[in-house]
Amino acid sequence: MSPAAYNVIVVGASAGGVDAMLKIAGHLPANFPAPILLVQHLGAHPSALPDLLAYKGPNRAKFGEPGEVPEPGVIYVAPSDSHMLIEHGRIRVWKGPKIHHTRPAIDPLFRSAAMEYGARAVGVVLTGTLDDGTAGLKAIKECGGLAVVQDPDDAREPSMPLSALAYVEVDHLATLDDMPALLGTLALAKPRRTASGPTQALRDEHAASFGGADMRHLKAIGAPSVFTCPDCGGSLFELKDQRPVRFACHTGHAYSLRTLAAAREETTDSALWASLRALQEKEAILRRLAEVQEARMPASGQAALGEAQELAHAIQVLRRFVEGPPRAPVA
């Protein structure tokens, strides 16, 4: 069956998404008339999500496998630590560069569905933190597809739905109670808009996410920024005329401003603890030096002790900052 013969539903979820998808799967009709492809932020952790979805509802569920043709009545789950896309009517499973500091990520699946299915793609953004899925949902709309978002008031984590609503002209806002019936209707709906082919900007951004983009290609779609990639340390390019604002490096890592800030929070925390350890070690060395030089080189020993005492004060200040009350996370 060709990709244009039926609609496809792509779903993205993060925090709270497992419970949300179990609730949806449990109320979908049997023999659901479209394939459902799901990215749940799993990281590298082993997952039994397909078994849970199959147990909860009447439709099959499985991890997506390379080369599979998506079939109606099956829920395909992105495997742990791998992106899942659709290419030439088949599933591609790919351990490529992290997008939004995560793998699997939602945007690659959504972009591929937009380019592959056009007006027959239905994108669904569920509960989650930050804003993965927003750019991909926008791509689906730009290619003529439909955008569905979980009501933020109904979401355990409203950040992803709120971001999608801020940047995408959403077709349907639904609670989890209403989602199964809505998806059943959309799975059979004829496209309301004429499919428009993917823009060159969308093609270029999608290609850049596969990595290996040289600097000439990045300069064609973005401009050098002052930021570096948290995942590889390379230069980040700010993509031109994109909302939400997005960045990519030549390796293929990509971020929004919000996911970049969240990723930097992690690296900053590690750097602060490393700095604290280095200062403590230097203080200990100086105190040992002062002890050794006290008898034969007292002036030098006193200088070392004075520097150690200054470091001790700096260490106290840094430790209070590092161990202080938790700062509000980027969400």
Active site residues: 14, 41, 132
Q: 93: number of CA atoms within 13 Å, CB side?
A: 18
Contacts of 297 (CB under 8 A, 6+ apart): none
CB of 140 closer than 8 Å to CB of 11? no
> Which helix (H) or strand (E) segment is 240 a member of?
none
CA distance 290 to 309: 11
CA distance 139 to 22: 27
CB of 115 closer than 8 Å to CB of 203? yes
CA distance 151 to 147: 13
CA distance 40 to 83: 10
C-alpha closest to that of 127 among 245, 247, 22: 22
Long-range pairs for 225-231: beta carbons < 8 A, 24 or more residues apart: 227/260, 229/253, 230/101, 230/255, 230/260, 230/263, 230/264, 230/266, 230/267, 231/97, 231/98, 231/101, 231/263
CA distance 130 to 326: 18
